[in-house]
Amino acid sequence: MKKYILIALIACYTTVSGQVKNTGISLIPIPVELIKNTGTFILPKNVTISVGPSPELVQMTNLLKERIATTTGSSVLIIPRSPSATIHLQLNRKTDSILGDEGYRLEVTTRNITIKANQPAGLFYGVQTLLQLFPKEIEGDVEADHVKWEIPCLEIVDYPRFEWRGLMFDVARHFFTKEDVKSYIDNMVRYKYNLLHLHLADDEGWRIEIKSLPRLTEVGSWSVKKVGYFGKFSPPAADEIRDYGGFFTQNDIKEIVEYAKVRFVNILPEIDVPGHSLAAIASYPELSCTPEAVNYKVRSGEQIMDWSHGAPPIGLVDNALCPANEKVYEFIDKVVTEVAALFPFGYIHMGGDEAAHNFWSKNPQIKDLMQKEGLKTMEEVQNYFTKRVQLIVASKGKKFIGWDEIMEGGGLPVEAAVMSWRGVSNGVKAAQLGHEVVMAPSDFAYIDLMQGDVSIEPKNYASVLLSKSYQFDPLPAGVDPALIKGGQANLWTEQVYNMRQAEYMTWPRAFAVSEALWSQPKNRNWNDFFGRVEKQFERFDVAEIKYAPSAYDPIINVSRKDTQLVVSLTSEVEGLDLYYSFDNSYPDRFYPKYTAPLIVPKDAGLLKIVSYRGKNPIGRQMTILVTDLQSRAKK
């Protein structure tokens, strides 16, 4: 062992690669610069971590200590600054202008590891990179004594492209516990996300304690449990028990906020108004424009909106707060007062999306408001509401942000920030009007949507493949870069019932979005990225985090040629072979291999497909009814 270390020490001074790609080092997101040197650092049995006295650094170092000690078998001691330490975490005495507040420099030699940064956040992200450099067994929760704990010698310079790097977690449609949220935070920081957007209120539940409005959680947090396809459930009977759901107490929120702070994550709270407010209206019916609201219940997944005519939807019940009712603004003031006190982050998200206007349009109070304020359309009525809510948020010392519908109706105050979800174009429009913009376009970054073929994925209204998410660029041409704060991926949970499914939907598409938000465009390449994704899959297997293997499954396109049904197969991933059968048996690599579009045999009932890499099956066995293929051809 001593001889090996001596050889590596001598060799470590020779640079063999100045390229970020093709180094054999798999990091997500890919850093700005990476130089791989010859030689290897081998973790000793007694590890010392040198760190300054800052409380932020101590907490961070304890996290690193726990990860190393749990799996490597090494003893780990945290010490004051010492040149002989194994790992050095150093704040720069003189600011490194390249790094900013979140960048870092990481150097690995045969002797030790050094991470330098201007701010504690930069050291934290350097630590996340360091952990990815260790063998995958570092992700486990038991000692792996068979592993050689080594890291290649290298130098990394790294910093983020955008300051806003977010994931949205919808805890309203289905409730997720405090421990679930902490787990989500733990996973997202691995990939340098720094913002968790919590969607805390919707038709299906109110998830945050508001002490001045106790019925919001007494009534608004509970529904009838349903399992199946959300949006198609039968309406609950009057005698069905409403015990499904839950909420966060204010102490829970404080605990989550502190947990996130230690990991350099801000939390953006969202209270979605005026639409998506059935849980609030069921709790306080006087907030509605509709007298029948006294009979409303929290939604359990039954249909309450008609989208057949496009947007805005037609409400089958009135799930929108009444802009003409002064009690609504008193309600919002109480909610925002308590929310602002709980969340240190400078923004509060107030929704603004998908509000149905059909109940407003026939309400006498709304008509009186329109006459009084000179409003001509329902969009202008909603804009009136938005402006008043923006003033309430501003009065609490916070900045208002909402979905891009808040721009409709004209005259949105320039102080309001816009989160663009209906494509990138609305974000461009908002930036051109001088608004701060966060890009979260559904066609790239909605990770609740299907990520593979509908025959095998949880059914939803659209798809976003991993390769599509990887094409996301938050900074379009023709806008002031200073106004594009960054972006995020959004996990809506109508079809997500538990934490394992939340993980499945998040990963690996959140890998792609993290790279769009952190890494430089010049360093990004799909084939290189997917190779690194596969290494992360290995780490997730050790950590027992669920992920979707959907990228290995074929993409199926169906057409007609005269009376024949034609099936074409493609793949997101290079180097895969696809095998198929029409005879109801299960194909393997000894079956026909797909080489050209398939003509579906006249009397066939099933198409089965499986993906292989060489001799090993890598995709899932897919079974598609021929009747399904026929319906796809019609579309």
Express each pLDDT in 332-380 by its tens digit. 999 999 999 999 999 999 999 999 999 999 999 999 999 999 999 999 9
Overall number of domains in the chain: 3
Do residue 142 and residue 174 come from a single domain?
Answer: no
Bridge partners of residue 622, in order along the sequence = 609
Do residue 185 and residue 260 come from a single domain?
Answer: yes
Do residue 35 and residue 70 come from a single domain?
Answer: yes
Sign of CA dihedral 574, 576, 580, 586: negative
In a domain, 526, yes or no: yes
Q: Which residues of 55-84 are buried (b: 16+ CB within 10 A; e: fewer)?
A: ebbeebbebbbebbeebbebebebeeeeee
Do residue 285 and residue 411 come from a single domain?
Answer: yes
pLDDT along the chain (635 residues), means of 10: 34 41 86 97 97 88 96 95 94 97 98 97 98 97 94 98 98 98 98 98 98 98 95 94 98 98 98 98 97 97 94 96 98 98 98 97 97 97 98 98 96 96 97 97 98 94 97 96 98 97 98 98 97 98 98 97 94 97 97 98 97 96 96 87
Coil/strand/helix, residue 170: strand
Cis before residue 441, ω within 30 degrees of 0?
no
CB 52 within 8 A of CB 91: yes
Please give the residue range of the domain that contains residue 576.
553-634
Going by the DSSP 8-state scheme, the letter that residue 370 receives in this structure is H
Do residue 296 and residue 375 come from a single domain?
Answer: yes
Do residue 538 and residue 570 come from a single domain?
Answer: no
Do residue 296 and residue 444 come from a single domain?
Answer: yes
CB 74 within 8 A of CB 68: yes
In a domain, 119, yes or no: yes
CATH number at residue 120: 3.30.379.10
Do residue 74 and residue 179 come from a single domain?
Answer: no
Do residue 501 and residue 387 come from a single domain?
Answer: yes
SS3 of the chain: helix, strand, coil, percent, to 5: 35, 25, 45
Do residue 501 and residue 560 come from a single domain?
Answer: no
- Give the number of C-alpha atoms closer than 13 A to the C-alpha of residue 587, restricted to the C-beta side: 24
State which of 492, 510, 543 marks the end of a domain. 543
CATH number at residue 298: 3.20.20.80
In a domain, 147, yes or no: yes
Specify the residue for token string 């969009």. Answer: 379
Do residue 73 and residue 137 come from a single domain?
Answer: yes
State which of 143, 158, 173 marks the end of a domain. 158
In a domain, 367, yes or no: yes
Going by the DSSP 8-state scheme, the letter that residue 59 receives in this structure is H
Tell me how far apart the alpha carbons of residues 470 and 468 are, in angstroms, rounded to a whole number. 5
State which of 123, 158, 193 marks the end of a domain. 158
CATH number at residue 592: 2.60.40
In a domain, 341, yes or no: yes
Do residue 321 and residue 216 come from a single domain?
Answer: yes
In a domain, 246, yes or no: yes
Q: Which residues of 292-316 are buried (b: 16+ CB within 10 A; e: fewer)?
A: ebeebbbbbbbebbeeeeeebbebe
Phi/psi at 536 (5° precision): -70, -35
Which sequence positions are flagged as catalytic? Answer: 354
In a domain, 548, yes or no: no
